[in-house]
Amino acid sequence: MKNFLVINGPNLNMLGVRETDTYGSISLDEIQNYTEKKISGLDVKLEWWQSNSETEIIERLHKLTNEKHDALIINPAAFSHTSIAILDALKILKIPVVEVHLTNTHSRESFRHSMLTAQAASIIMGGLGKEAYYFAVLSQLN
């Protein structure tokens, strides 16, 4: 059984309420339930964790270095575009990192085109909406 940590960054707890024209009306809990249903026949367990705090995300990444996860799936949200500190914390990890974004950030405002944290990712996915986490899981199963 593989064991993946899923980290969601700031404002993703407000999915379903925030900018529904951009992100749709589905909440993070609903995306989580949807993903869990889709992976139910697969040999993988997900731990879901969300924070709005850069510090907490960095500390969760540090803790991950002493844990037995096989991969990290992360949506750093806006911190993707700003946080060298999260990039540095991701670079400490020895497991594969998959960075996901619900939207295609390259088709949005120019400040979303720079993806700092993605430099530490082996895979980056954008624009898949609620399917993002499911495809990120599949990418790490072989």
Catalytic residues: 23, 101
93 lines the binding site for ligand DQA (CB under 6 A): no
Minimal distance, residue 98 CB to ligand DQA, in Å: 13
Closer residue to ligand DQA in complex, CB, 2/85: 85
d(CA 53, CA 75): 13
120 lines the binding site for ligand DQA (CB under 6 A): no
Selected from 11, 27, 82, 139, the binder of ligand DQA by CB under 6 A is 11
Which span (34-42, 53-61, 84-92, 97-105) binds ligand DQA, by CB under 6 A? 97-105
Selected from 26, 28, 78, 128, the binder of ligand DQA by CB under 6 A is 78
CB-based contacts of 48, cutoff 8 Å, min separation 6: 6, 8, 32
Structure tokens at 30: 């609903």
Count of beta carbons in the 10 Å neighbourhood of residue 17: 11
Give the pairing of strands 71-75 and 2-8. Answer: parallel
What count of Cα atoms within 13 Å lies in the side-chain half-sphere of residue 126?
Answer: 15
Based on C-alpha coordinates, what's the Rg of the chain?
Answer: 14
8 lines the binding site for ligand DQA (CB under 6 A): no
d(CA 72, CA 18): 25
Selected from 31, 46, 54, 75, the binder of ligand DQA by CB under 6 A is 75
83 lines the binding site for ligand DQA (CB under 6 A): no
Minimal distance, residue 121 CB to ligand DQA, in Å: 13
| Residue whose entry in the numeric block shows the structure tokens 């707890």 | 13
Residues lying near ligand DQA in the complex (CB under 6 A) are found at 11, 75, 77-78, 101-103, 105, 112
